[in-house]
Structure 1
Amino acid sequence: MEASEIKSTLFTHLLCAFAFINSTDYSIFINDSEYSKFDSFTTRVKLQNPSVTSLLSIYTGGENSSLFNSLINQSSYRKSFIDSSIRTARRFDFQGIDFCGAGPKQGKDLVNFATLLKEWRIAITSEARNTKRSELVLVMTGYYLKASDSLSYPFESMQKNLDWVHFVAYNYYLPKRDSVTRFHAPLYGSSGWENTDSGIKEWRKRGFSSNKLVIGLPYHGFAWTLVKPGEGGVGRPTSGPAITMDGSMAYKFIKSYIRGFGDGVVSRYNDTFVVNYFTVESTWVNFDDVEAIKEKVSYAKKNGLLGYSVFQVGSDDNWVLSTAAHEVNKDHHNRRLLIVVLVTALTATFLLAMVFFCYYHKGTVITITRMVYRLRIHLSAPDEDLNENGSDLIVFDYLTIKLATSYFSTENKVGEGGFGAVYKGKLFNGVEIAVKRLSKTSKQGLEEFKNEIALTAKLQHVNLVRLLGYCTKRNEKLLIYEYLPNKSLDHFLIDPRKSILLDWRRRVNIIEGITQGLLYLQEYSNFTIIHRDIKASNVLLDHEMNPKISDFGMARIFGKYELEANTSRIVGTYGYVPPEYVRKGIYSPKYDVYSFGVLLLQIISGNKTSCYYGPHENMNLLEYAYGLWMEGRGVEFFDPSLDDTASACKIMRCMQVALLCVQENSADRPSMLEVDSLIKNEGRPIGTPNMPAFSMNKHEDDKGDTFNSGFNLYSINDVTISQMLPR
């Protein structure tokens, strides 16, 4: 959520998270990608509410925990950290500092933690006096403690030197850690259950005043997978998280999830624990809705707490929870509650959280756990398990994908191929995805679907599109990929307005990327993979125009020591399929070499494979290129916008390599290793190519090898062959 989108009139304080600790000198730094958001945060939130106070939040938990421990135990490190935090807050016009993630300590660490807070407050006071500015607010986050816990916080120092503490009143029980259902943020609980009321009472017993405590309100919930579907409620056996990787769900996503079931799902409020929950088949979800939020704000007032904080504002659903809390606050005229909101500038969507903090107890030891929200979604078990190899692929829930693609709307449709339609989507955590939806009329079916899952799960390379997961619910066959914003290479090659964006430097990068992707498939992966559908529309481009090979539905695993294999089912795309495959069903690594050669000719010319060329327009693309090259007029084949004078990679050499790749006889074609070497090494001798495959103007003695399979290549524009029996 952008700062300008926050309804700041509902809040008194807003936190912008997170800055981090530099491991070298213990100073504070902000990620470059977030710099502008921090820079404008205070100005933007004050446009609606000039009186709102902005705070810089520094993260000291998770992998920074050991760094923070080192920091507090060395006076010079503490000084560097403190001075840098003040400078950074002032630099970005923040009016306070929050540090988040610091767990309880014991022994020397506890003493040094107290010293840090004392020195920090002294430095803040001194800086304000010297600059004649208001003192910065200093606050921190604190966690649940049991009476039996030996670890603690430096409560005396906190009482003296902090303005308040955010009490994290949620994430007590988590589906990824606990084997039975529990409410993650109950206000009250049974004996032995962690709950907010008992946690606050323990802090009071240890000497911290209520008037410096701020109760945390979670704008998120958790989903659990029930062992026995339909048996919801507390204490039921579970098999782990549901809906997402760790079960966490933003409030707005929970409400959207409920609406997706119409009247079939009803959320219930438990006034004993002060929580909301619902059950859908094998999924049990607990969260805070309006009733729980109102009761918790009232609790803060009745028990003399300073106020409440919410985690996090971007997860609210049209400000429903924030407005409810604000209305309760207005009802208490005799005391103005402090309202604090955590805002993460690191997410531009309603991502539940960048970080969840919790403690789990084993004996008397409290261990901090940083629950980092996964940017990939893991959902309930599919109708059938297609992930036989136990890979890292995710099984998505149909409703999640339906919501992500706006119900597969036409506005989200970005393409269509032999498999079916492709949709752009955005998961509730903000991650953009591409969804391939198997068409019920597609000639490609479950075999290709399973094949893509099986093969792609085994492959990882920067020049291969990453498959995130799949979905087989509701009789759907969906493949979910990383989203690449620049679509496919053919969109640039065939559009004159876009092709000029591909100068020779960019095209060389694309050629190199495709080459490396094919080398990985054929030489460097644990399996030799024959793609069998290399073409411009199957080369996708990321935001920096780097190429990624996609669509492995027709791919096959090939034995490392096999020379060739045979099939009676012919698949591929007209114009890219080698002659030995069309005639006899024979495929080998040279299949993809041939397709690469055709694609390389397209990249250097910008021409289509489906058109005819030459003075009489009777030559296919390969014949046309070969004829011009043989006559020494290869430059006429080039895209006229290209200039290779500043490049070590020359267009003419690429043309010759491409013609070597499309030769009739597969044995004459180079391997991808040789292709890579020929393109990169200008001084390496390069052979003379023979006439390419499917040439109409062959010599009389070559006629016996001409293509004769009962269909016309030239009549189809980049159409995928689904099945054909060779003659």
Structure 2
Amino acid sequence: MASKILAFLLLFLPFELLHHSNAQSWIQSGFWRTNSVIAASEVNSALFTHLICAFADVDNSTYQLSIPSSDVSIFSNFTDSVKRKNPSIVTLLSIWAGQAQTYQSTFGQIPNSTVLSSMASQPSHRKSFIESSIKTAKLFGFHGLDLSWVWPSTASDLINLGTLLEEWRAAINSESRNSNKTRLILTMKVPYVPTLHSVSYPVDSIRRNLDWANVVAYDYYVSTRVNFTGAHAALYDPSSNISTDFGIREWTRKGLPASKLVLGLPYHGHAWRLVNPDENGVGAPASRSGLTSDGSMSYWYIKFYIRRFSNGAAKLYNATYVVNYYTFGANWIGYDDVETIKAKVSYAKEKKLLGYFVSQVSNDENGVLSLAAAQKDVEDNQNKRLLMIILLPIAMVIFILGFMLCYLRRWVLKSKGNESLSNSDAPNLQVFRFADIVVATNNFSIENKLGEGGCGPVYKAYDLWKDGKGMEFMDPSLDDEFSSCKLMTCMQVALLCVQEKPADRPSMLEVSSMLKNETAAMVMPKRPGFSIKTDEDERNNSGLQQVICSNEATVSQILPQ
């Protein structure tokens, strides 16, 4: 049994350890916008598996995708540009919500697309949108499409969204069959929780039709909405449900597998102005910051600001929320730095998510955060490989040793059995081994293994049988008021089969006869072979012992004179 377990581990361990290191099963995605401060060709695409070009708009009358003429060359060259540093990169075209207005939500004023809402509400509008999106993606060389409709505003919008995804996926599948080309990837951004105004997102449709969902796990708090310093991308929050961990657990509880979720990593932060500079932790009273118009700041600008005002400044890491924040006087900035990014990548792996996406690539400072995220992935894979390198040889050695010991044990027992028999005793050799069959057939447990000095189980069985205490050798579960006589008969037959002298061992036919006829007289066994003990009485005794069984289960013994 142990050898089977080790063999299983030997086969299973390498695949299990390398499972999550497969590049195809882990998404490292990044959003890049056409108005970014760095060109697409400057992005270190080697740090990503997927890059998403943002954004294409939706025409408010035709509901077809619309790309400004000034951006046409950027979109058409995007895939080729990012493939220069990573030929295997996969690119997607992201579709923006279009013309926006605002509505009041839990967090304040959030943009809502009236264009997408109108598009999704009518079959003809959906058809126009879907056909143009597929055509545009193919025309500009993208491998997939991403919908950036994060905040549908009504229950009808959410229902229509589910229908849109069903029809969109069907059209993509159809196009792939007809063109005999690779099917387009379909993804969309979703909020950190699957419920909006007590109405759930179409989780079933998302699960069936999206390759994955990009979870917007940031902007929980901004200075234009709340009057306290908020951890805008908190992984955990001990005081509320506004956290990434809570949102991920809600999505999976609603039925969306973790393998369909890609975790958002923000490359930006939010700033507040403290009411009291001495009270500067997460949740401290604060007001809108004057550092930027809306308090948001890119990571590279935050690092620039910290370097410029580093004297007397405090850069802190809060492990409870898993956030970084920086204070200088009354200014307070919350953001994700290297240690936070690494912690979130580890979290995504621990929760078996599909991967992560960054928003947005151009907000990084010389690729510091993207490199940290990618290195964390590499470190985890190296640790798994190291574990396999250590454990696999150990498992192999244990397996080989176990196999050798098992083989040696069988060889020794076989040798000892052969030593007791001459070449002319071949028929009786079968009788000697038949003792095992007799015992097993009658649910009787005598191990006829030879112990050192004649003290093995077989000799213990003989001594108990000789003293009339044979039932003490039996498993109690085998005994009842009607079976003890049969068990004693089996025990006597088994002892006869392991006699030292071949002539004293019954033939196969005699064994069968003794077992069938419980009232027949049987020869009294002598001490089994290979014992260092002697029994003078037995050596001189050739009498019979008769066991008679009745319905009352009484035992009569005729002892020799």
TM normalised by structure 2 equals 0.58
| Aligned equivalent of 1:44 | 81
What CA distance in whole angstroms lies between the structure 2 residues aligned with 1:298 and 1:80? 41
What CA distance in whole angstroms lies between the structure 2 residues aligned with 1:38 and 1:99? 16
Residues 182 and 235 in structure 1, CA contact (< 8 A), matched pair in contact too: yes
| Aligned equivalent of 1:324 | 372
Quick one: which of 343, 348, 354 aligns to 1:300? Answer: 348
What CA distance in whole angstroms lies between the structure 2 residues aligned with 1:262 and 1:70? 50
| Aligned equivalent of 1:17 | 54
Q: Do residues 202 (structure 1) and 250 (structure 2) align?
A: yes
Q: Do residues 257 (structure 1) and 294 (structure 2) align?
A: no
Residues 104 and 151 in structure 1, CA contact (< 8 A), matched pair in contact too: no
Residue 264 of structure 1 aligns to a residue in which SS?
coil
Deviations 1:467-517 (A, max 9, x none): xxxxxxxxxxxxxxxxxxxxxxxxxxxxxxxxxxxxxxxxxxxxxxxxxxx
Residues 195 and 201 in structure 2, CA contact (< 8 A), matched pair in contact too: no
Please list, as runs of the form range in 1=range in 2, the aligned pairs for 1:202-281 lying within 5 A after superposition.
202-281=250-329
| Aligned equivalent of 1:119 | 167
Flag as ranges the 4+ runs of structure 1 deviating above 6 A.
none
| Aligned equivalent of 2:131 | 83
Structure 1 residues 334 and 195 mapped into 2: Cα distance closer, same or farther (>3 Å)? same
Residues 102 and 142 in structure 1, CA contact (< 8 A), matched pair in contact too: yes
1:33 partner letter: S
Residues 117 and 152 in structure 2, CA contact (< 8 A), matched pair in contact too: no
Structure 1 residues 10 and 242 mapped into 2: Cα distance closer, same or farther (>3 Å)? same
Structure 2, unmatched stretches of 5+, are 1-37, 102-111, 385-561
2:56 partner letter: A
Residues 324 and 335 in structure 2, CA contact (< 8 A), matched pair in contact too: yes
What CA distance in whole angstroms lies between the structure 2 residues aligned with 1:233 and 1:324? 26
What CA distance in whole angstroms lies between the structure 2 residues aligned with 1:126 and 1:43? 26
Shift of 1:146: 7.4
What CA distance in whole angstroms lies between the structure 2 residues aligned with 1:334 and 1:158? 33
2:138 partner letter: R
| Aligned equivalent of 2:238 | 190
Structure 1, unmatched stretches of 5+, are 337-727
What CA distance in whole angstroms lies between the structure 2 residues aligned with 1:296 and 1:264? 29
Shift of 1:144: 2.6
Residue 68 of structure 1 aligns to a residue in which SS?
helix
What CA distance in whole angstroms lies between the structure 1 residues aligned with 2:337 and 2:116? 35
TM normalised by structure 1 equals 0.45
Identity of aligned residues (%): 49
Shift of 1:129: 1.1
What CA distance in whole angstroms lies between the structure 1 residues aligned with 2:116 and 2:270? 29
Q: Do residues 5 (structure 1) and 53 (structure 2) align?
A: no
Residues 71 and 77 in structure 1, CA contact (< 8 A), matched pair in contact too: yes
Shift of 1:241: 2.3
1:282 partner letter: A
1:117 partner letter: L
Specify which structure has the bigger relative contact order, considering alpha-carbon pairs within 8 angstroms and separated by 6 or more residues.
2
1:290 partner letter: V
What CA distance in whole angstroms lies between the structure 2 residues aligned with 1:178 and 1:158? 32
Residues 194 and 201 in structure 2, CA contact (< 8 A), matched pair in contact too: no
Shift of 1:109: 3.1
Shift of 1:151: 2.2
1:255 partner letter: K
What CA distance in whole angstroms lies between the structure 2 residues aligned with 1:252 and 1:91? 34
What CA distance in whole angstroms lies between the structure 2 residues aligned with 1:79 and 1:154? 19
Structure 1 residues 257 and 334 mapped into 2: Cα distance closer, same or farther (>3 Å)? closer
Residue 88 of structure 2 aligns to a residue in which SS?
coil
Residue 138 of structure 1 aligns to a residue in which SS?
strand
What CA distance in whole angstroms lies between the structure 2 residues aligned with 1:327 and 1:176? 35
| Aligned equivalent of 1:56 | 93
2:94 partner letter: S
What CA distance in whole angstroms lies between the structure 2 residues aligned with 1:242 and 1:165? 35
Shift of 1:192: 1.9
Shift of 1:223: 0.7
Shift of 1:105: 5.9
Is the radius of gyration larger for structure 1 or structure 2? 2
Shift of 1:145: 2.6
Structure 1 residues 159 and 328 mapped into 2: Cα distance closer, same or farther (>3 Å)? same
Deviations 1:139-196 (A, max 9, x none): 0000033779412211000100000000001000111100111110110002324110
Structure 1 residues 102 and 181 mapped into 2: Cα distance closer, same or farther (>3 Å)? closer
Q: State the superposition RMSD in angstroms.
A: 1.8
Residue 227 of structure 2 aligns to a residue in which SS?
coil
What CA distance in whole angstroms lies between the structure 2 residues aligned with 1:131 and 1:69? 31
Structure 1 residues 156 and 334 mapped into 2: Cα distance closer, same or farther (>3 Å)? farther
Residue 229 of structure 1 aligns to a residue in which SS?
coil
2:364 partner letter: D
What CA distance in whole angstroms lies between the structure 2 residues aligned with 1:124 and 1:263? 56
Deviations 1:408-438 (A, max 9, x none): xxxxxxxxxxxxxxxxxxxxxxxxxxxxxxx
What CA distance in whole angstroms lies between the structure 2 residues aligned with 1:113 and 1:304? 26
| Aligned equivalent of 1:34 | 71
Please list, as runs of the form range in 1=range in 2, the aligned pairs for 1:288-687 lying within 5 A after superposition.
288-333=336-381
Q: Do residues 95 (structure 1) and 143 (structure 2) align?
A: yes
Residues 106 and 150 in structure 1, CA contact (< 8 A), matched pair in contact too: no
Shift of 1:310: 0.3
Residues 166 and 215 in structure 1, CA contact (< 8 A), matched pair in contact too: yes
What CA distance in whole angstroms lies between the structure 1 residues aligned with 2:383 and 2:84? 26
Deviations 1:449-474 (A, max 9, x none): xxxxxxxxxxxxxxxxxxxxxxxxxx
Shift of 1:111: 2.5
2:45 partner letter: S
Residue 61 of structure 2 aligns to a residue in which SS?
coil
